[in-house]
Amino acid sequence: MSSPRPLIHLSGVKKVFYTDEVETHALSGIHLDINKGEYVSIAGPSGCGKSTLLSILGLLDTPSDGEYVLNETAVENLSLSDRARIRNREVGFIFQSFNLIGDLTVYENVELPLTYRGLSSSDRKRRVTDALERVGMAHRAGHFPSQLSGGQQQRVAVARAVSGQPSILLADEPTGNLDSSNGEAVIELLRELHRGGATICMVTHDPRYAQQADRIVHLFDGLIVEEEAGSNRREIKEAKREVKETNAGGVG
């Protein structure tokens, strides 16, 4: 059920950093399409360009070369303001270090992206409550981040990322600062969101978590070296086959 045009289309995307006369080729020509509803994980050794790729996907950074079409809009050469607007509507970020704002309550943190959109406060309230309920943190709305455990904080961060109903969720090692049980809980949360129709692109070191995705993109030295189907895809495929088989069996 893939849409005719991919949600994200990268072609020949390069990123070069210039620091003190040293050129770092973080990305050296990335071709990548992500379809609506797809769950993609990006894997690769440290320094291979995963975070750089995610930043470009999230419009935090601009490619040095190549084209990027997000939701049928070319976004390489937009103004700061336009990029901020698209980032706000189309992208939800989940960071390794949670990045909640310590002075704001859980509720206010989740509300934050909505405030940059000019929604009415009742609208915002509905969406924030929705998002918090989805991650199971509604009862902590009035707390401050410092009063929460790491796992709870990351769940709030997920709620913040989804509250604006973005086209794509970008997660950079969302489990990196969590112990394994909390990490698994967050991965489970992402999988639930994916089942609900969310498009997700997640960077992770952990092969077990990478396997959760439909597709695993392996990055090495700024290039995509391999793409494989994740266990999720295989599971679905297997499930479909099972359905077919039972159907066939049923019929046959």
Partner 1 sequence: MRSFWQDIRYGLKVMRKNPGFIAIAVFALALGVGANTAIFSVVNAILLHPINYGNPDQLMMVWEKSAKRGFGQIPTSLPNFVDLRTDNKSLEDLGAFADSNFNLTGGDQPERVIGVRVTASLLSLVGIKPLRGRLFLSGEDQPQATRVLILSHHLWQRSFGANPNIVGQNVALNGDSYTVVGIMPSDFKFPPSFSATVASSQYAMPNADLWVPLTTDAVPTARDIRTLFMIGRLKPGVTPAAAQSEMNVIASRLQKEYPATDADMQVDVIPLRQQITGDIHLALIVLFGAVGCVLLIACANVANLLLAKASGRQKEVAIRTALGATRRRIIRQLLTEGMLLGLAGGVLGSLLAIVVLRQLVIFSPANVSIPDNIGIDWQVLAFTLLLSLFTSFIFGLAPALQASKLDLNETLKEGGRGNSGGSKQNRLRSLLVITEVALALVLLIASGLMIKSFLRLQNVNPGFNPENLITLEIQLPQNKYSDKNRQAVFQQQLVQRIAQVPGVQSAGTVDNLPFSGNESNVGLTIEGQPPLNAAERPRAFLRNVSPNYFESMGIPLRKGRTFADTDNGNAPGAAIVNETAARRLWPNEEPLGKRFKRGKADSQYPWVTVVGVVGAVSHTSLEVASQPEVYLPFQQNPELNLTLVARTRSDPKAFAGAVRREVSALDKDLPVSNIKFMDEIIGKSVAQPRVYALLLGIFAGLALILASIGIYGVMSYSVTQRTHEIGIRMALGARPRDVLKLIIKQGMVLGIAGIIIGLIVSFALTRVLASQLYGVSSTDPGTFAAISLLLMFVAVIACYIPALRATKVDPMIAVRYE
Ligand X SMILES: Nc1ncnc2c1ncn2[C@@H]1O[C@H](COP(=O)(O)OP(=O)(O)OP(=O)(O)O)[C@@H](O)[C@H]1O
Compare residues 150 and 176 and give the one whose CB is closer to ligand X.
176
Alpha-carbon distance of 50 to 53, in angstroms, equals 5
Between residues 22 and 251, which has the closer beta carbon with respect to ligand X? 22
Instruction: Work out whether 24 is an interface residue with ligand X (CB under 6 A).
Output: yes
Given ligand X, Mg ion, partner 1, none, residue 89, with its beta carbon under 5 to 8 Å by kind, binds: partner 1
Residues 27-56 that bind ligand X (CB under 6 A): 46-52
The torsion of the CA quartet 197, 201, 204, 209, rounded to 10 degrees, works out to 20
- Shortest CB 96 distance to Mg ion, Å: 8
Q: Is 204 in the site for ligand X (CB under 6 A)?
A: no
Of 85 and 218, nearer to partner 1 (C-beta) is: 85
Q: Which of 44, 49, 58, 63 binds partner 1 (CB under 8 A)?
A: 58
**What CA–CA distance (Å, rounded) separates 239 from 231?**
12
> Taking the complex as a whole, how short is the minimal distance between the CB of residue 172 and Mg ion, in angstroms?
6
Q: Which is nearer to ligand X, 50 or 124 (CB)?
A: 50
Residue of 59, 53, 14, 6 whose CA lies nearest to 33: 6
Does the CA dihedral 171-177-180-185 come out positive or negative? Answer: negative
Q: Return the residue of 28, 64, 71, 99 that touches partner 1, per CB under 8 A.
A: 99
Q: Are 32 and 56 in contact (CB under 8 A)?
A: no
142 vs 83: CA distance, rounded Å:
31
Q: What angle (nearest 5°) sits at the alpha carbon of residue 40, between those of residues 44 and 163? A: 120
Closest to partner 1 by CB, 97 or 247 = 97
Say how far apart CA 5 and CA 65 lie, in whole Å: 22
Query: Considering only residues 9, 26, 48, 51, which one is a binding residue for Mg ion as defined by CB under 5 A?
Result: 51
Tokens of 196: 């609900």
Out of 172, 182, 187, 211, which residue is the one contacting partner 1 (CB under 8 A)?
172
Catalog residues that contact ligand X under the rule CB under 6 A. Answer: 17, 19, 24, 26, 46-52
